[in-house]
């Protein structure tokens, strides 16, 4: 798909981060956008930003509340889209919504684990199932599924449990790669891409925590403080002498630095993704850190989960994630 003008795009998780920037850049190119999120407020802000520059005549931006882990809510989103965008087809489907957290079978609850897995994997699977009929009706279509570097490297460092997110992101990658053949055989006018971002400066750390805890508070609750202490212990940091306020401060600083000190911004990431779609690439690595990790994991897969591998990679790309 060489240009997006006059097309219809669906974006899940359009409220903040990469979803918001995808919406802004698509709208700037004259593409109609229908987005969903669990936050009406965040989507209203995305819409406001999209409308800040003059829109082409008749272009539509619609917002829809839907939890991507619940198929019925995506189906309701699809029905609202058909009515509000006055179309029976879409050309672009960005399955972007995702959260982190819930990574341990031991220190997290089963609900937390499955919340992350069901959003990151279920959201992509249900998204494709729900919107495929609308893509089938377009003359050309493209499905863009957001995985992660955690779709080929199941870790964020040897001190942190990361099983829910990594298994979901591996599933997204495997599904999308297999989908290429299924589409080629059965719907050759539709292409698909798997997106694997490295560290991108977004609020995913604080957003994920809020979704996992079911609270809008910026402060950790008691259970989160305990889990944060475990996490720091796993990194070799003794928290015995630290007060709960110290732990709160460390968590707040981690969310801030994840957003503000990333090597790639959300806007840069969205541009890389859209350029990748235009170039017809099925495999879209986002950021220099993602490219470097891809090379390292392929070169030494047996080493990929050792402290030395992580340390040397971190030193090379300058990650400050811990």
Ligand X SMILES: NC(=O)c1ccc[n+]([C@@H]2O[C@H](COP(=O)([O-])OP(=O)(O)OC[C@H]3O[C@@H](n4cnc5c(N)ncnc54)[C@H](O)[C@@H]3O)[C@@H](O)[C@H]2O)c1
Residue 127 binding ligand X, by CB under 6 A: no
Distance CA 19, CA 16 (A): 6
Stretch that binds ligand X, among 34-42, 81-89, 153-161, 247-255 (CB under 6 A): 34-42
Contact pick of 7, 10, 19, 224 for ligand X (by CB under 6 A): 19
Q: Could you give the string, one character per residue 141-180, with x where binding to ligand X holds by CB under 6 A and - elsewhere?
A: -----x-x--------------------------------
Q: Which token pair is 193?
A: 């891409």
Phi, psi of 2 (to 5 degrees): -85, -30
CB of 57 to ligand X, least distance (A): 29
Question: 251 and 228 in contact (C-beta within 8 Å)?
Answer: yes
- Helix residue ranges, H only, 143-220: 163-186, 204-213
Residues 199-258 close enough to bind ligand X by CB under 6 A? 199-200, 202-204, 207, 211
Contact pick of 22, 26, 67, 108 for ligand X (by CB under 6 A): 67
Question: 290 and 196 in contact (C-beta within 8 Å)?
Answer: yes
Interface with ligand X (CB under 6 A), residue total: 31
Distance CA 190, CA 41 (A): 33
Contact pick of 16, 25, 116, 193 for ligand X (by CB under 6 A): 16
CB closer to ligand X out of 138 and 165:
165
Q: Annotate 286-302 with b (16+ C-beta within 10 A) or e (fewer).
A: bbebbebbbebbeeeee
Give the 3-state secondary structure of residue 263: coil
> Can you give the binding site for ligand X, defined by CB under 6 A?
12-13, 15-19, 36-39, 42, 67-69, 96-99, 119, 146, 148, 197, 199-200, 202-204, 207, 211, 266
């Amino acid at each position: 798909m060489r240009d997006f003008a006059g097309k219809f795009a669906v974006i899940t998780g359009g409220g903040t981060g990469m979803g918001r920037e995808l919406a802004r850049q698509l709208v700037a190119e004259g593409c109609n956008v229908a987005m969903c999120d669990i936050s009406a407020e965040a989507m209203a802000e995305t819409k406001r930003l999209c409308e800040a520059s003059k829109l082409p005549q008749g272009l539509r931006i619609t917002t829809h509340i839907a939890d991507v882990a619940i198929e019925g809510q995506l189906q309701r989103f699809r029905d609202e889209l058909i009515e509000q965008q006055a179309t029976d087809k879409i050309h672009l489907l960005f399955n972007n919504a995702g959260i982190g957290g819930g990574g341990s079978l031991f220190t997290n609850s089963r609900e937390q684990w499955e919340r992350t897995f069901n959003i990151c994997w279920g959201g992509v699977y249900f998204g494709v199932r729900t919107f495929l009929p609308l893509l089938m009706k377009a003359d050309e279509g493209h499905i863009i599924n957001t995985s992660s570097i955690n779709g080929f490297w199941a870790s964020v460092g040897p001190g942190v449990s990361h099983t829910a997110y990594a298994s979901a992101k591996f599933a997204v990658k495997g599904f999308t790669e297999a989908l290429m053949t299924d589409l080629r055989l059965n719907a050759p006018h539709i292409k698909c891409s798997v997106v694997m971002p490295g560290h991108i400066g977004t609020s995913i750390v604080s957003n994920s925590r809020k979704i996992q805890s079911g609270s809008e508070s910026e402060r950790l609750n008691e259970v989160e403080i305990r889990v944060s202490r475990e996490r720091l212990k796993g990194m070799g940091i003794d928290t015995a002498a630290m007060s709960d306020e110290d732990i709160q401060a460390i968590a707040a600083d981690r969310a801030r630095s994840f957003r503000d000190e990333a090597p790639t911004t959300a806007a840069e990431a969205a541009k890389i993704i859209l350029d990748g779609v235009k170039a017809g690439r099925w495999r879209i690595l986002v950021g220099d850190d993602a490219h470097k990790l891809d090379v390292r994991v392929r070169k030494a897969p047996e080493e990929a989960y050792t402290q030395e591998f992580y340390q040397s990679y971190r030193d090379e790309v300058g990650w400050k994630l811990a």
